[in-house]
């Protein structure tokens, strides 16, 4: 039972990332009709916003310490972060320690800006082109973005730890009547889950309860009619592209402490996220979220030793297997709408 | 009457032919050079010789590949008489003179393995066929090493492996044209097991997470056998797909498996991510069976350990070489590399530099670039002064035998490079094995192929 609870928590955690990326993908597809293969790169850029802020906060000046030597036997250069010299060692190191949560504020304007530039600068020229062209150009863009990141940050993963306050694990089992230390779960992964839930709720709330959101939903349902009413739907959709980029970016920022960011982390999530979107139903926001969590949980359970002993290798194919079954049974996906990508 | 064909004229003719044959080396001295420098693939005809450096320049191991390339460029500089000569001054063989190889200036071409077997074979093939590379070297993966070694054997050039740690490279997939200086999974396990026993005791139960490819399989098999031989039990071995990024689903079952040691048979990004997950799940603070839970990483890479940050502190593993070694060879190499690039070399850089030196030295001693001459010169070659102490290229499988370093993540690093500390230098005798050891059986070295 403890293993099942642990895998359920793992599934919710993985599902959080899938759902956030798939939500952004669906927002872009639903509004602009663009299949954005660069969306994984936006997730990666978000993680590198956290890396960048950590590096900025850790910018240091060097002093020579004649009592120590470096690897060549020369007097050692001691690095002291500027922030520690300005605010004192204690407050300075605390600010650096909290660089990942602080990166949320840093990432939002950057990611909206990146999304806006991407849409205005490149993707808008492909609205009337076939989906294959859109896929090619956005996939190419993803490769360019990741190579730029590799050029600046290298190919190795860069450790970006969570604040000290969130290190360690929460003893979930004691809440459920288990012995201590039987069902423990990392604090930061729980934070990630709640953060994802908050962002998803915020996006839905924005679309549901604001005038802007209402217009966007109307545009998603019938773009032409909304345009005929004199509303500049294109401008709103561009803003939605920026918001979708910010959602992917925030998913990346908060993911940085879970797995050290590297330049190809976006590609690792991209294919899975597209499967999530297809399983959820192209253009369906609730479908994307539902499928994200569903596939995350299934992927976690399929990694269990008990399952792998019966079906070796199932953990590698489960997502695609479920996608095939769902598409056979429900060709439009779990919550897909009629007419989307069917013309 | 006699039926013998023996005549005085016949005797004279036979004697003349025998005398001519005996005198040939001196009579035809000028053709000896030509013979030594023809009859094999890509025999250099001009004043230069081309080496092919096949390293990951893109993909997840690109940083390790970049460090390999730095080492190769340094080696070429030293071979051509530039720089401070690096390890040439400490190398026990004094055949290299700093005037290239056999008097020919060393040039090089590079290929990108992308850490993919097919891409690595394609780039090696291109360097051999289009650029005339006489030797291929490099790589950061056993899958790539096995694939490129096979290609070089078929083509008829020498392959001096880079970073490859699978038993198979010089086990079931060994080839006459291939040579490995780097250590292997068996050696890591043989060196680590006694240290683990001394630190953690004999009554331990290990849980293995293993990368699902040739290196992971042989590493796991080796460490399981070595730890079981000292009394440990094995709770489980779970194969994890190479493409896995989030290991939480694989780490969670470890919590209540009854195991008190987690062995991560992972390398590179896999190692960084699985170790990070294990630490996040609180395994290092956990107590099982009244003992502290421990994590072991059999193969360490300093470059990769950096990605895991503080999570590596106190975790045992093994490595082929480390820049903090104080022998003369290591010091000379660290000085050359450090002054040129500003940071210390990785173990990948070290093995690649040494492989280039060993190849060049073999060619000098053999007096030819002919792969069969190189093979003959390297087989059973004993040397010292290249950073690992007394070393031998065993003739039977082309594996280097030398001391192995057991290391652990440093608790109080003094710099960004100071991540690992050497716990023990395990002597060669302790990590040596018979050539027909079951973990290495199944393949044939075959015959050297000169390619023409």
**Cβ–Cβ below 8 Å for A71 and B323:** yes
**Cβ–Cβ below 8 Å for A72 and B335:** yes
**Cβ–Cβ below 8 Å for A76 and B415:** yes
- Does residue A70 sit within a domain? no
What's the gap in Å between the CA of B331 and the closest CA on chain A?
Answer: 9
Pairing of strands A60-69, A75-81: antiparallel
Q: How much is the pLDDT for A181?
A: 78
Pairing of strands B294-299, B316-319: parallel
Cβ–Cβ contact A80 with B under 8 A:
no
- Does residue A12 sit within a domain? yes
Cβ–Cβ contact A149 with B under 8 A:
no
Chain A residues whose beta carbon lies within 8 Å of the beta carbon of residue B238: 305, 308
- Read off the pLDDT of each residue in A17-21 and give the average, rounded to a whole number: 91
Cβ–Cβ contact A161 with B under 8 A:
yes
**Residue A92's pLDDT band (boundaries 50, 70, 90)?**
very high
Q: Is the pLDDT of residue B231 over 60?
A: yes
- Does residue A340 sit within a domain? no
Q: How much is the pLDDT for A308?
A: 82
Q: B48-183+323-397: which CATH number, 3.10.450.50, 3.40.50.2300, 3.40.50.170, 3.50.50.60? A: 3.40.50.2300
- In B, minimum Cα distance to A14 occurs at B246
Element (H, E) at B11: helix B8-27
Q: How far apart are CA A325 and CA A335, in angstroms?
A: 15
Question: Among the listed ranges A116-120, B19-23, B438-442, which one has the minimum average pLDDT value?
Answer: B19-23
- Read off the pLDDT of each residue in B152-178 and give the average, rounded to a whole number: 96
pLDDT in tens, A64-84: 988 888 888 888 888 899 999
Q: How much is the pLDDT for A341?
A: 57
The rounded mean pLDDT for chain B is 90
**Cβ–Cβ below 8 Å for A14 and B246:** yes
pLDDT in tens, B87-99: 999 999 999 999 9
**Cβ–Cβ below 8 Å for B334 and A2:** no
Q: How much is the pLDDT for B285?
A: 86
**Cβ–Cβ below 8 Å for A154 and B63:** yes
Percentage, residues of chain B above pLDDT 90: 75
Most B CBs within 10 A among A72, A76, A163, A318, hence the mutation to make, goes to A72
Most B CBs within 10 A among A1, A100, A159, hence the mutation to make, goes to A159
**Cβ–Cβ below 8 Å for A3 and B276:** no
Q: How much is the pLDDT for A342?
A: 58
Q: How much is the pLDDT for B21?
A: 45
Q: How much is the pLDDT for B39?
A: 86
**Cβ–Cβ below 8 Å for B62 and A155:** yes
**B368, B130 Cβ separation under 8 angstroms:** no
Domain boundaries for CATH 3.40.50.2300 within chain B:
48-183+323-397, 186-319
Instruction: Supply the CATH number for residue A11's domain.
Output: 1.10.3470
Cβ–Cβ contact A2 with B under 8 A:
yes
DSSP tag of A49: H
- In B, minimum Cα distance to A3 occurs at B253
Cβ neighbors of B218 (< 8 A, separation 6 or more) are: B166, B167, B168, B171, B184, B185, B186, B439
**A203, A289 Cβ separation under 8 angstroms:** no
Most A CBs within 10 A among B211, B248, B267, B284, hence the mutation to make, goes to B248
**Cβ–Cβ below 8 Å for B309 and A184:** no
Chain B residues whose beta carbon lies within 8 Å of the beta carbon of residue A2: 255-256
Q: Is the pLDDT of residue B121 over 50?
A: yes
**Cβ–Cβ below 8 Å for A260 and B273:** yes
CATH number of the structural domain B186-319 = 3.40.50.2300
Q: How much is the pLDDT for A343?
A: 54
Domain count, chain A: 1
Q: From the list A156, A189, A300, which residue is nearest B307 (CB)?
A: A156
pLDDT in tens, A53-62: 999 999 999 8
Cβ neighbors of B255 (< 8 A, separation 6 or more) are: A2, A6, A181, A182, A184, B281, B283, B286
Chain A residues whose beta carbon lies within 8 Å of the beta carbon of residue B334: 71-72
Cβ–Cβ contact A79 with B under 8 A:
no
- In B, minimum Cα distance to A261 occurs at B307
- In A, minimum Cα distance to B326 occurs at A71
Q: How far apart are the first and last CA of chain B?
A: 53
Q: How much is the pLDDT for B16?
A: 47
- Read off the pLDDT of each residue in B395-403 and give the average, rounded to a whole number: 97
Percentage, residues of chain A above pLDDT 90: 50
Chain B residues whose beta carbon lies within 8 Å of the beta carbon of residue A156: 63, 303-304, 306-307
Q: How far apart are CA B231 and CA B234, in angstroms?
A: 10
**Cβ–Cβ below 8 Å for B309 and A159:** yes
Give the CA angle between residues B219, B223, B226 to the nearest 5°: 140
Q: Is the pLDDT of residue B2 over 50?
A: no
DSSP B79-104: HTT-TT-GGGGT-S-----SS-BTTB
- Does residue A303 sit within a domain? yes
**Residue B5's pLDDT band (boundaries 50, 70, 90)?**
very low
- Read off the pLDDT of each residue in B209-232 and give the average, rounded to a whole number: 94
**Cβ–Cβ below 8 Å for A68 and B414:** yes
- What is the arrangement of strands in the sheet containing B400-401, beginning at the earlier edge strand? B382-383, B391-393, B400-401
**Cβ–Cβ below 8 Å for B304 and A156:** yes
Chain A residues whose beta carbon lies within 8 Å of the beta carbon of residue B241: 315-316
- In A, minimum Cα distance to B322 occurs at A71
**Residue B147's pLDDT band (boundaries 50, 70, 90)?**
very high
**Residue B35's pLDDT band (boundaries 50, 70, 90)?**
low
Q: Single out the residue of B49, B83, B55, B86 nearest to residue B69, CA to CA.
A: B55
- Read off the pLDDT of each residue in B388-405 and give the average, rounded to a whole number: 97
Q: How much is the pLDDT for B8?
A: 46
Question: Among the listed ranges A24-28, A138-142, B105-109, B437-441, which one has the minimum average pLDDT value?
Answer: A24-28
- Read off the pLDDT of each residue in A213-225 and give the average, rounded to a whole number: 86
- Does residue A136 sit within a domain? yes
Q: Is the pLDDT of residue B406 over 90?
A: yes
- In A, minimum Cα distance to B275 occurs at A259
**Cβ–Cβ below 8 Å for A260 and B307:** yes
**B421, B410 Cβ separation under 8 angstroms:** yes
Chain B residues whose beta carbon lies within 8 Å of the beta carbon of residue A300: 248-249
What's the gap in Å between the CA of A147 and the closest CA on chain B?
Answer: 9
Length of chain B: 452
pLDDT in tens, B337-378: 999 999 999 999 999 999 999 999 999 999 999 999 999 999
**Cβ–Cβ below 8 Å for B280 and A189:** yes
The rounded mean pLDDT for chain A is 89
Of A83 and B39, more confident: A83
**Residue B32's pLDDT band (boundaries 50, 70, 90)?**
very low
What's the gap in Å between the CA of B79 and the closest CA on chain A?
Answer: 23
**Cβ–Cβ below 8 Å for B282 and A304:** no
**B167, B161 Cβ separation under 8 angstroms:** no
**B198, B214 Cβ separation under 8 angstroms:** no
- Does residue A67 sit within a domain? no
Cβ–Cβ contact A258 with B under 8 A:
yes
Q: How much is the pLDDT for B241?
A: 85
**Residue B15's pLDDT band (boundaries 50, 70, 90)?**
very low
Q: Is the pLDDT of residue B25 over 50?
A: no
Q: How far apart are CA B127 and CA B131, in angstroms?
A: 5
Most B CBs within 10 A among A7, A21, A151, A157, hence the mutation to make, goes to A157
Most A CBs within 10 A among B59, B60, B269, B332, hence the mutation to make, goes to B269
**Cβ–Cβ below 8 Å for B310 and A156:** no
Cβ–Cβ contact A3 with B under 8 A:
yes
pLDDT in tens, A142-160: 999 999 999 999 888 899 9
- Does residue A336 sit within a domain? no
Q: How much is the pLDDT for B149?
A: 97
- Does residue A309 sit within a domain? yes
- Read off the pLDDT of each residue in A36-63 and give the average, rounded to a whole number: 94
Sign of CA dihedral B367, B368, B372, B378: positive
Place of tokens 């001693």: B365
**Cβ–Cβ below 8 Å for A169 and B280:** yes
- In A, minimum Cα distance to B338 occurs at A72
- Containing structural domain, residue A318: 2-57+97-329
What's the gap in Å between the CA of B381 and the closest CA on chain A?
Answer: 31
Chain A residues whose beta carbon lies within 8 Å of the beta carbon of residue B332: none
């Amino acid at each position: 039972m403890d293993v099942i609870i642990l895998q359920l928590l793992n599934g919710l955690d993985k599902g959080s990332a899938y759902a956030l990326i798939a939500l952004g993908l669906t927002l872009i597809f639903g509004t602009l009709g663009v299949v954005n293969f660069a969306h994984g790169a936006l997730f990666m850029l978000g993680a590198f916003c956290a890396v960048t802020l950590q590096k900025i906060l850790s910018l240091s000046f060097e002093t020579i310490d004649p009592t120590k030597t470096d690897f060549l036997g020369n007097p050692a250069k001691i690095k002291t972060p500027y922030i520690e010299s300005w605010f004192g060692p204690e407050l300075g190191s605390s600010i650096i320690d909290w660089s990942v949560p602080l990166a949320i504020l840093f990432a939002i304007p950057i990611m909206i800006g990146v999304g806006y530039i991407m849409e205005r600068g490149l993707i808008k020229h492909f609205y009337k082109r076939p989906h294959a062209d859109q896929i090619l150009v956005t996939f190419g863009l993803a490769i360019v973005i990741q190579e730029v990141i590799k050029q600046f940050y290298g190919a190795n993963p860069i450790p970006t730890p969570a604040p000290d306050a969130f290190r360690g694990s929460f003893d979930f089992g004691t809440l459920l009547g288990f012995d201590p230390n039987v069902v423990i779960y990392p604090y930061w992964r729980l934070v990630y889950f709640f953060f994802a839930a908050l962002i998803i709720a915020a996006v839905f709330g924005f679309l549901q309860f604001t005038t802007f959101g209402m217009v966007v939903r109307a545009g998603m349902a019938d773009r032409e009619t909304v345009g005929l009413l004199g509303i500049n739907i294109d401008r709103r959709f561009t803003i939605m592209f920026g918001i979708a980029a910010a959602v992917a970016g925030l998913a990346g920022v908060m993911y940085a402490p879970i797995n050290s960011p590297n330049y190809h982390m976006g590609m690792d999530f991209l294919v899975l996220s597209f499967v999530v979107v297809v399983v959820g139903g192209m253009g369906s926001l609730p479908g994307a979220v539902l499928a994200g969590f569903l596939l995350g949980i299934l992927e976690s359970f399929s990694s269990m030793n008990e399952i792998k002993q019966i079906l070796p290798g199932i953990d590698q194919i489960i997502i695609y297997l479920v996608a095939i079954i769902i598409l056979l049974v429900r060709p439009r996906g779990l919550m897909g709408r009629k007419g989307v990508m069917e013309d | 009457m006699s039926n013998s064909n023996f005549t005085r004229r016949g005797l004279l003719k036979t004697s003349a032919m025998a005398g001519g044959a005996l005198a040939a080396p001196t009579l035809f001295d000028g053709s000896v050079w030509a013979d030594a420098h023809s009859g094999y693939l890509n025999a250099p005809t001009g004043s230069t010789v081309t080496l092919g450096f096949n390293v990951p320049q893109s993909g997840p191991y690109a940083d390790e590949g970049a460090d390999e390339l730095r080492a190769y460029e340094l080696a070429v500089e030293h071979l051509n008489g530039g720089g401070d000569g690096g390890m040439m001054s400490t190398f026990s063989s004094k055949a290299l003179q700093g005037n290239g190889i056999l008097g020919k200036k060393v040039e090089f071409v590079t290929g990108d393995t992308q850490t993919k077997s097919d891409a690595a074979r394609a780039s090696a093939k291109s360097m051999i066929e289009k650029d005339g590379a006489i030797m291929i070297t490099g790589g950061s993966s056993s899958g790539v090493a096995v694939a490129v070694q096979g290609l070089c054997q078929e083509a008829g050039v020498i392959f001096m492996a880079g970073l490859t740690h699978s038993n198979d490279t010089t086990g079931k997939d060994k080839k006459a044209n291939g040579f490995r200086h780097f250590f292997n999974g068996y050696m890591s396990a043989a060196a680590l097991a006694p240290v683990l026993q001394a630190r953690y005791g004999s009554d331990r139960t290990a849980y293995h997470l293993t990368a699902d490819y040739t290196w992971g399989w042989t590493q796991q098999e080796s460490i399981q056998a070595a730890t079981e031989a000292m009394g440990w039990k094995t709770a489980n071995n779970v194969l994890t797909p190479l493409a896995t990024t989030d290991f939480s689903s694989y780490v969670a079952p470890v919590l209540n498996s009854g195991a008190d040691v987690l062995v991560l048979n992972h390398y590179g990004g896999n190692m960084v991510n699985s170790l990070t997950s294990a630490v996040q799940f609180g395994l290092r603070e956990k107590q099982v069976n009244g003992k502290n839970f421990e994590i072991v990483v059999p193969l360490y890479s300093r470059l990769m350990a950096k990605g895991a940050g503080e999570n590596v502190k106190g975790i045992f593993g093994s490595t082929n070489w480390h820049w903090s070694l104080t022998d003369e060879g290591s010091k000379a190499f660290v000085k050359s590399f450090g002054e040129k690039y500003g940071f210390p070399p990785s173990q990948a850089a070290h093995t690649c530099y040494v492989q280039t030196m060993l190849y060049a030295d073999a060619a000098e001693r053999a007096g030819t670039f002919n792969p069969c001459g190189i093979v003959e010169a390297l087989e059973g070659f004993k040397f010292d002064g290249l950073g690992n102490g007394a070393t031998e290229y065993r003739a039977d499988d082309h594996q280097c035998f030398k001391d192995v370093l057991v290391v652990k993540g440093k608790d109080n690093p003094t710099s960004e490079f100071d991540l690992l500390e050497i716990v023990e230098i395990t002597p060669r005798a302790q990590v040596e094995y018979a050539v027909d050891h079951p973990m290495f059986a199944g393949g044939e070295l075959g015959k050297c192929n000169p390619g023409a």
